[in-house]
Structure formats: structure tokens, C-alpha cells
Amino acid sequence: MARPLSPDYGKRKQLILEKSAEMFAEHGYHKASIDQLADACGMSKSLIYHYFKSKHELLFQCMKEHVTELHTEAERCAAMDTPAVDRVTALLKNFMTFYENAGPRHRILVNDLTHLKDEQHREIVAIQDKIIQILNTMLADSMKSEKADNVNGTVLSLLLLSMINWTYTWYDPKGPITPDQLGQLVSDIFMNGVHSLKK
């Protein structure tokens, strides 16, 4: 018979993931150690391994949780009953807010994806591809009346995501522009540029 989970199992597991993301983001995947993680969590090393089999699994789970949340949010924006441009704007605003609230996870997703095992890497990339496809559809919808069929939607989607994915290297959410405002600014600049392609 399986041993029952402790009442705080989920809370402890989430704490380990949060501390792992912070350590990987600050020190890099290879330099961060399970011993450091155990100290940061106030747990024994053996307890960490009770929740996660390896450091690789910790990295993978941090990334998977982050991209899954982004995919869920992309689907929610795509289902909004608003013009396509407004759906794109909503996605950008909400992604920027996600990046602010999950900064360490986003940082390791951008920097440490290559450290995953092949199967793990494929799973994360597959979720990312779903996000790109959702954005492709939004952009295509916004341009249907503009006869821009020759524009490569995947290239446009990757360009747009690139505009926000690396903002963590310079953007300060406590500065003069909020994540919501930055998302709006990126949307205005990008969508005005895209729509000018018809000319």
C-alpha cells in the first residue's frame, strides 16, 4: 500500500521548485548544488530527493510549469471575443506580467534549455511551439483583410516573442513603465510595423 502524502506535500514541493528556479537563475544550472538548495529550503538533502529524483528533474519541472502557464494564458487570450490585434496586445501584456512574477523561471527557460535531457527538451519545445502557433493564428487573423499572405507567420511570431523574452536583461518593473504598459508599447510598435507591410 502506498504511503499517504503529508498534508504539506504540495507546499513543500512548490517551495523546492521556487528556490531551485532562484538558484539556477542566480548561479547557473551547473554551479547550483542540491546542498545549497537544501539549505535554502531548510530541508535535508534526502528530503529534496524524496520530491525530485535529480537536479535535471528540478530544472525540467521549473521550465515545464512556466511554459504550461504561458500556454494556458495564450489559449485564454486566443479565445477572447475581441479583434485579433486586441488579443495580441492582451497576450503581450499578460506575458510581461508573468515574466515579472516568475522572473527566475523565465530566465532559466531562456538560458538553460540546452541543459535538459533530449526527451525533456522536446517536451518543453513542443509546448513553446503551441504558443507560437497560437500567436501565428492571431497575427494571421489581424492581417486577413490586408492581403499579407506572403508574410511568414512563424518568423513574425518569433520576432514578436523575441521583443519581450529578453526584457529581463534590462527591464525594471519598478521603473517608470509598468509591465502592462510595456506590453502595450511592444504591441503598438510591432503591429503598426506589421500592418505597414501591406503598403
| pLDDT tens-place string over residues 128-141 | 999 999 999 998 88
Given a contact cutoff of 8 angstroms between Cβ atoms, the answer to whether 111 and 66 are in contact is no
Q: Output the pLDDT for position 5.
A: 55
Q: Output the pLDDT for position 81.
A: 96
Given a contact cutoff of 8 angstroms between Cβ atoms, the answer to whether 37 and 19 are in contact is yes
Q: Domain residue spans in the chain?
A: 57-198
Q: What is the pTM of this model?
A: 0.87
Q: Output the pLDDT for position 199.
A: 54
C-alpha cell at 83: 479583434
Name the CATH superfamily for 57-198.
Tetracycline Repressor, domain 2 (1.10.357.10)
Per-residue pLDDT reduced to its tens digit, 85-136: 999 999 999 999 989 888 899 999 999 999 999 999 999 999 999 999 999 9
Alpha helices in the chain (DSSP H): 9-27, 34-41, 45-51, 55-78, 84-101, 103-111, 118-143, 153-165, 179-195
Counting as low any pLDDT under 50, the low residues of the chain are 1-3, 146-148, 150
Closest by alpha carbon to 190, among 119, 93, 55? 93
Q: Output the pLDDT for position 196.
A: 74
DSSP at 3: P
C-alpha span between 117 and 12 (Å, rounded): 25
Q: Which single residue is written with the C-alpha cell 533530449?
A: 118
Q: Output the pLDDT for position 92.
A: 96
